[in-house]
Amino acid sequence: MRTTVTLDDQLLREAKSLAAQTGVTLNSVIENALREALARRNAATRREKVTLRTFRGHGLQPGVDLNDSAALLDLMNGIE
């Protein structure tokens, strides 16, 4: 099917460059990119629900910074 699509100038340049580098047509680059984007979207909606096990406790302990893995390891190993 033939249609008209308006693309950002930089995006079009990159797509043309990719087409030239890989030896395929610009049409193929655009079709493949669209197929890939749709496949990722469909795969994301088909994921199974994950149930995480939780345990009793008192929550996050004082001084624990989950963004600092080195400090967390030190705390877990009893190093202060």
Residue 13: per-residue pLDDT: 97
Average pLDDT over residues 55-80: 79
Q: Which amino acid is at 8?
A: D
pTM over 0.95: no
Residue 80: per-residue pLDDT: 63
Residue 35: per-residue pLDDT: 95
pLDDT in tens, 26-66: 999 999 999 999 988 877 666 778 887 877 777 777 777 88
**Helix residue spans in the chain (DSSP H):** 9-22, 26-45, 69-76
Residue 53: per-residue pLDDT: 81
Tell me the two tokens of residue 40.
């990722």
**Which single residue is written with the structure tokens 């302990």?**
61
